[in-house]
């Protein structure tokens, strides 16, 4: 199990696993040696395995391999076999194999700052998303399939934030937690929930793009977009892939807390569909822009229609950050490359995605603002006739082509 763990964990956990293997090999080698009262026996001091030596003999060993992670300078440690046994290491490990404590302090401060930023970002996003869902669900004139998809997307961002909070509370609840060997059912559930939240988030971003493409590409108001199929796919596929991943991890790679698997082949059960959805979303974004440009060209004779399409096109501008173009770049880089850039983008900036989605889909939405204004000024929207949930079409003069002027 220890051998299989190597290569499937974070670098710092690789160091610990390597030390444990070295200790095990050292102790086994010492047991195979015949007992003798002369000289010094083979021994393990916690970092290095000192071989058997004769009395008065000096043994020199290089610093453990993982010290090269902190310093490019190679060091060495000596020990003397005396009549009373092994002497203390000379020079001491902190001198011979120095670790820059200020660097470790800076790293700890950096990670703490990143955690504060993404915790604040997710908290703000959750509050904003709950308010957005309440508005879209409460106001009857806003109830339509496209806004229902918006609320599903809002829910995935809330689920994503909740999974982050659960994972932090489970894995990083104390400074003394050894997450290289920490393994409980709750921590595995938190990691699986985190993957499920991420996958549902990407699947509903895809559902948004598919539904908008369907509305723009349809040439008849009688054409209905597959809303319930999107609901089934948006929640079903993530459950299928995460369930498959959990089964493989439980059966073949039940290591630590399941969060140390970036090099595991089973990681592609999660990573593969996400990368595919990001690629498809990017293609749909380009297709949406193409359709909008073509329809705007057809509507050149009508300033009102152009205004309607421009209002609709502005809603697609946020698709670029939502589709996670930065994920396309970073998912094709090695997992340990560019951490200084990836952490602020994926954790810091990514935590505010839910806030941005709620602002653009709800609070800056002209129809939402109109309904809120009606209620604020004393006009009860419930007394007004319900707004039709299907698309409205007009015939711009001279074009001979029906164009979409309002979608829901």
Instruction: State the chain's maximal CA–CA distance in angstroms.
Output: 107
Say which range, 53-57, 240-244, 318-322, has the weakest mean pLDDT: 318-322
Task: Report which of residues 34 and 226 the model is more confident about.
Answer: 226
Contacts of 283 (CB under 8 A, 6+ apart): none
- Mean pLDDT for 161-176 is 79
Q: For 40-45, which contacts have Cβ atoms below 8 Å and span 24 or more sequence positions?
A: 40/81, 40/82, 40/85, 40/86, 43/86, 45/89
CB atoms within 10 A of CB 123: 14
Task: Report which of residues 2 and 47 the model is more confident about.
Answer: 47
CA–CA gap between residue 18 and residue 5 (Å, rounded): 10
The gap from C-alpha 362 to its chain's centroid, in whole angstroms, comes to 24
The gap from C-alpha 10 to its chain's centroid, in whole angstroms, comes to 16
Q: Would you mind telling me the total number of residues written for the chain in this entry?
A: 408
Any idea what DSSP says for residue 90?
A: B
Residues 205/324, Cβ–Cβ less than 8 Å:
yes
Closest CA to 98 of 58, 68, 138: 68
Per-residue pLDDT tens for 385-407?
Answer: 444 444 444 444 444 444 444 44
The gap from C-alpha 222 to its chain's centroid, in whole angstroms, comes to 39
The conformational region for residue 401 under phi > 0 = left, psi -120 to 50 = alpha, else beta, is: beta
Highest mean pLDDT among 108-122, 212-226, 235-249, 372-386: 235-249
Give the model's confidence band at 154: pLDDT under 50 very low, under 70 low, under 90 confident, else very high: very high
Per-residue pLDDT tens for 251-293?
Answer: 888 877 777 656 678 888 998 898 888 888 888 888 887 887 7
Mean model confidence pLDDT for the chain = 76
Per-residue pLDDT tens for 33-83?
Answer: 776 667 788 888 888 888 888 888 899 998 887 776 666 677 889 999 988
Closest CA to 183 of 9, 66, 22: 9
CA–CA gap between residue 31 and residue 33 (Å, rounded): 5
Look at residue 302 and tell me whether its pLDDT is greater than 70.
no
CA–CA gap between residue 342 and residue 338 (Å, rounded): 6
Contacts of 205 (CB under 8 A, 6+ apart): 153, 277, 281, 322, 323, 324
Look at residue 21 and tell me whether its pLDDT is greater than 80.
yes
Q: For the chain, what percent of residues have pLDDT higher than 70?
A: 69
pLDDT of 404: 45
pLDDT of 400: 42
Could you list the beta-strand ranges (E) of 255-327: none
CA–CA gap between residue 379 and residue 382 (Å, rounded): 9
Look at residue 187 and tell me whether its pLDDT is greater than 70.
yes
- Mean pLDDT for 367-377 is 81
Task: Report which of residues 361 and 9 the model is more confident about.
Answer: 361
Collapsing DSSP states into helix, strand and coil, what is residue 405? strand
Give the model's confidence band at 6: pLDDT under 50 very low, under 70 low, under 90 confident, else very high: very low
- Mean pLDDT for 341-358 is 81
The gap from C-alpha 24 to its chain's centroid, in whole angstroms, comes to 36
Highest mean pLDDT among 170-179, 235-244, 306-315, 370-379: 235-244
Look at residue 373 and tell me whether its pLDDT is greater than 90.
no
Global pTM value: 0.72
CB atoms within 10 A of CB 212: 23
């Amino acid at each position: 199990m220890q051998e299989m763990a190597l290569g499937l964990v974070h670098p710092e956990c690789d160091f610990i696993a390597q030390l444990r293997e070295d200790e095990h090999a050292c102790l086994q080698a010492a047991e195979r040696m015949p007992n003798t009262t002369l000289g010094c026996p083979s021994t393990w001091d916690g970092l290095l395995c000192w071989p058997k030596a004769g009395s008065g003999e000096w043994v020199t060993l290089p610093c453990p391999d993982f010290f090269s992670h902190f310093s490019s300078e190679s060091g060495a440690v000596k020990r003397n076999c005396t009549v009373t046994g092994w002497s203390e290491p000379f020079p001491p490990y902190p001198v011979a194999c120095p670790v820059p404590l200020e660097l470790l302090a800076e790293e700890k401060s950096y990670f703490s700052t990143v955690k504060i930023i993404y915790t604040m970002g997710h908290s703000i996003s959750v509050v904003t998303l709950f308010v957005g869902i309440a508005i879209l669900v409460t106001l009857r004139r806003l109830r339509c399939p496209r806004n229902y998809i918006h609320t599903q997307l809002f829910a995935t961002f809330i689920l994503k934030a909740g999974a982050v909070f659960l994972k932090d509370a489970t894995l990083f609840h104390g400074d003394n937690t050894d997450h290289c060997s920490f393994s409980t059912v709750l921590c595995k559930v938190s990691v699986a929930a985190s993957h499920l939240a991420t996958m549902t988030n990407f699947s509903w971003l895809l559902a948004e793009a598919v539904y908008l493409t369907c509305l723009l590409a349809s040439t008849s108001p009688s054409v209905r977009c597959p809303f319930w199929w999107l609901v089934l796919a948006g929640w079903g596929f993530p459950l299928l892939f995460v369930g498959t991943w959990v089964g493989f991890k439980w059966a073949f790679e039940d290591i630590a807390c399941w969060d140390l698997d970036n090099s595991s082949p089973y990681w592609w059960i999660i990573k593969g569909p996400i990368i595919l959805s990001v690629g498809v979303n990017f293609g749909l974004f380009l297709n949406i822009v193409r359709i909008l440009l073509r329809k705007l060209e057809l509507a050149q004779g009508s300033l009102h229609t152009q205004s309607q399409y421009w209002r609709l096109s502005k809603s697609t501008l946020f698709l670029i950050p939502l589709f996670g173009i930065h994920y396309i770049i970073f998912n094709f880089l090695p997992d340990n490359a560019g951490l200084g850039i990836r952490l602020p983008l994926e954790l810091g900036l990514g935590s505010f995605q839910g806030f941005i989605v709620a602002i653009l889909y709800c609070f800056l939405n002209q129809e939402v603002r109109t309904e809120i204004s009606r209620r604020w000024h004393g006009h009860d929207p419930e007394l007004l006739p319900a707004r039709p949930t299907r698309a409205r079409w007009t015939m711009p003069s001279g074009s001979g082509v029906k164009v979409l002027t309002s979608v829901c």
